[in-house]
Structure 1
Amino acid sequence: MDDAVRFCLLAEQVKVEVALFSSYAWSGRTIEYHRAQIRKFHDFREPTVGDEDKLADWPATKICPVEMSRDRLRGALLTRCREDRIEPPKTTRIERVLGAAETLFERNFTHRTLNRLSFDAVGKLEELITAPPPPPAATSDDSASAQAAAEPEGQSQAAAAHEGGRRAFLQELNEDPGSFQLDTLLAEIVKLGRVEAIGLPATLFAEVSEKVVAGWRARAMKMYPSDFKAAEVPVRVTLLAALCHVRQAEITDAWSSC
């Protein structure tokens, strides 16, 4: 909503000419005095630094677990200000509060997810984007020099194939299988077995909505292995877990509907 529309609506409410708004001093002592009068009349108060901290904590624990839209977070924050009879912070401060809330939620969410996963499950998730260790160095035994010269090449090929298999599976998790025919259904069953073998707990994302988990899955689908590696461990593991969790649910739902 632009300023012209706001002025028209406000003019209609207070029964004054719209043209008067263009001559009003929107900064300085006059507006500060009028705002103080309005706050007193409606029994509101100015926000403090402590209020902003509380306003960031509230959406981080109550709204962010079920909603990812910044516009809806902003609307919920403004509603909270009205309920607490606090004058909403300025636009720039509101955006900072919302940013702090999202950061706090992400930190709590990713650490909780990591703590709920077993060491083995974390390792299997990491394997999706981590290259296998290099093959051992060749032996210096003269009697086996020919064999030693051949081993690194063969081991390198095996390691490359192993890494390719891991990353191919990561790519498969990102792909839409299309219409479920017999061949694709059998492939999805195999994929389901591999996802289930990771060992994600059924209650891994119990405190957040499916919309939020789907949002993290969508974020993961846009990332390359190098992007995952650059992320902090809790964030990386949560992204990979969300990707596998949603894909597992999709395959299970498709299988049950056949």
Structure 2
Amino acid sequence: MAQQVRVPAEEWGAYDWSGRAIKRHRMEVRSAFGFRESTQEDQVQLAQWLAAELCPVELNRERLAEAVVARCRKDRLEPPAPAKVTRLVASAVNTFEEGFCATTVERLPAASRSRLDDLVADDDGGEGTVGGGRTFFTELKADPARWAWTVS
């Protein structure tokens, strides 16, 4: 890295990465290349874009994060810190999944929704279930690893 910016390696290692100088240098670099700092509003728009455009077709969160960085470069924005990108992607995926589920449930007939609600309802102590036992879904929630072999 020191060779790329043409400074001795010792100076590179001694650089203060958390002081005022780096803030000024980052501002100068952004200005030189025509970038700007991303704002909270930019991040909200990125999350909305991800939820609407990419989440329906891409499941891999790493690729979604890469798409955020690429979009920032295209829009001449300094990308958020990696931890913020991870949170932004998680937020977008959550928004997409909630919307997808809501849309799917709205399309189901009322009878189907009612039967699904009954299927996932908590047990009432065994009363009302066939044979007086717990429902399959309740058992699945209690110990999902036990049932993993049935999915394969």
Q: CA deviation at 1:129?
A: 3.2
One-letter code aligned to 1:99: A
2:20 matched to 1:51? no
Partner of 2:148: none
Q: Which has the larger radius of gyration?
A: 1
- Identify the residue that residue 96 of structure 2 maps to in structure 1: 105
1:224 is the counterpart of 2:141: yes
Q: How does the TM-score come out when normalised to structure 1?
A: 0.47
Cα deviation, residue 103, structure 1? 2.3
Match of 2:59 among 57, 68, 77: 68
Change (3 A) 1:20 1:119: same
Alpha-carbon RMSD: 3.3
Amino acid at match of 1:90: A
The one-letter code matched in structure 2 to 1:124 is R
Q: Sequence identity of aligned pairs in percent? A: 35
Q: How many residues align?
A: 144
Q: Is 1:36 the counterpart of 2:5 in the alignment?
A: no
Match among 79, 98, 102 for residue 88 of structure 1: 79
Shift of 1:101: 1.3
TM-score by length of 2: 0.75
Higher relative contact order (CA 8 A, sep 6+): 1
Q: Unaligned regions of 5+ residues in structure 1, if any?
A: 1-9, 134-155, 171-221, 228-246, 248-258
User: Of 8, 18, 22, which aligns to 1:17?
Assistant: 8
1:118 maps onto 2:87 in alignment: no
Name 1:161's counterpart in structure 2: 130
Aligned counterparts of 1:15 and 1:80: Cα–Cα separation in 2: 29
The 5 Å alignment of 1:87-236 reads 87-130=78-121, 159-161=128-130, 167=136, 223-224=140-141
Deviation string for 1:211-258 (max 9, x for gaps)?
xxxxxxxxxxx952899xxxxxxxxxxxxxxxxxxx9xxxxxxxxxxx
**CA shift at 1:162, angstroms?**
6.7
Gaps of 5+ in 2: 145-150
Distance 1:90 1:160, change over 3 A: closer
